[in-house]
Chain A
Amino acid sequence: MSDASKLSRFEAVVLVHLDAAYNLARWLTRDAAGADDAVQDACLRAFRFFDNLHGPSPKAWFMTIVRNASLDWLKVQRASRAEESYDEDLHTAGAAESVEAAAARDSDAHWVRVGIAALPREYREVLVLRELEELSYKEISAIVDVPIGTVMSRLSRGRDLLQQRLLQSRERKRS
């Protein structure tokens, strides 16, 4: 395969999933620049190993690499800035919050975003892959590298946690 044809095949088979890659990286790193870095890194890795594409689907294969790159990014960040918190998404409400922002904070949209972002990673990643990417349990199992039964139980547990938040948020609104 020539380099040029490899590149065009890579674009057609792998880079078509760039949005999915970015979405997963963004939810994992919870950081816009981190997602940029992780996706770029993942694309280079995927291109290098493109001849060895395997797994249930090209998307699942690419997402496995994106996930690894995101976790590597997190590791580097944690090592270099161990004392800081990365839950930037959780710190959206500043001191001078506008009336609209306060209203938005109690909206369903807000609790969904904050709720997912606050989930422990093992639940967050399976939920994003299922609810946002709509991948099958088999694909998720390959990406996260756990048995299908574990995918099933993590999804259940993640949804339980989100459900509790939904109820709390609606009760707050009523009171």
Chain B
Amino acid sequence: MNCTRLQQVLDAHIDGELDRATTGEITAHLTECASCAALREQRSALRQALRAHAPYFKAPAALAPTIQRSLDRAMAESAAKLQSSATGRNAGLSWLHATALASVAALAGLIAGYWLAQPLPDYPLRDPAVASHVAALAPTRQLIQVASSDRHTVKPWFQGKIDFAPPVKDLAGDGYVLIGGRLDQVADKPAAAVVYQVRKHVINLFVWRATDKAPNSPAADPTANSNTDVTAAIATASVRGFSVTTWAAGGLRFAAVSDVDGRDLTRFAQLVSAP
């Protein structure tokens, strides 16, 4: 271990983040090298000053009760919403609504299994996906809530906003340039919209959960769990002048919508869904 290397890892050493072998080398160097030992002393003094004097802002006493009230309100609202969707939409149930109702009845485990075993009825989802695409392009709407061509900015933006991790890829090399993302809905389901541009055309890639999770099922992390895998092949159609490509994978549903040629969109879907 030389001085340069030691100084690079000195902080990690003080933080106790290094393995035992490296720690041993550092300790040995510090007993021999006065200038590195002096640096270590400075850092230790800094740490002491920080821990002694940096203010720790504890939550004000009023905050916990305020949060409690807003959680109570949120629970009441979601209960009311489930109630109204259970009674209010008897006509023209889509399969999405049907599964939502099933979960209200706490039958989703069974029903979802049934739906997953069926060939996925794709076509009812193309219309809502196109509707969401068109709405997003309206001048009064915000197409992009997080603007970035960096997937490391766009992907984490969705965390905490939506309960799954949509795939976000850098496809600029293939001509599909990431421009950002936003929260949206497809057929009343919360959806991540990842926005790309190819030439001058916008592509909205909508991603949403394939089914409602049963209230009693163990919490599933969609990034880690693949036994509830739903897969449906990539299929491209034309709806109201837009190309729509749909597929399903990893418990998520995907719909890419754009006014580009259907073949461009199919190619895009292949790139996005490639492992």
Contacts and interface: CB of A to CB of B under 8 A. Distances in A.
B241 interface: no
Interface string B10-46: 1110010100000000000000000000000011011
Contacts of B213: 51
A22 B50 contact: no
Nearest to B47: A131
B68 to A, nearest CB: 9
Interface residues of B, number: 51
Contact of B46 (A43, A64, A159): A159
A63 B70 CA distance: 19
Interface residues of A, number: 53
Interface in A66-82: 68-69
B67 A43 contact: yes
A112 B221 CA distance: 40
Interface string B47-87: 10111111111111001101100110011000100000000
Contacts, number: 130
B264 to A, nearest CB: 31
A118 interface: no
A163 B50 contact: no
Nearest to A62: B160
A40 B70 contact: yes
B53 A112 contact: yes
A53 B219 contact: yes
20 contacts: A7-B71, A15-B64, A18-B64, A22-B57, A32-B60, A36-B60, A39-B63, A44-B70, A47-B74, A48-B74, A48-B163, A50-B219, A52-B219, A64-B159, A68-B157, A113-B54, A131-B51, A132-B54, A132-B56, A145-B152
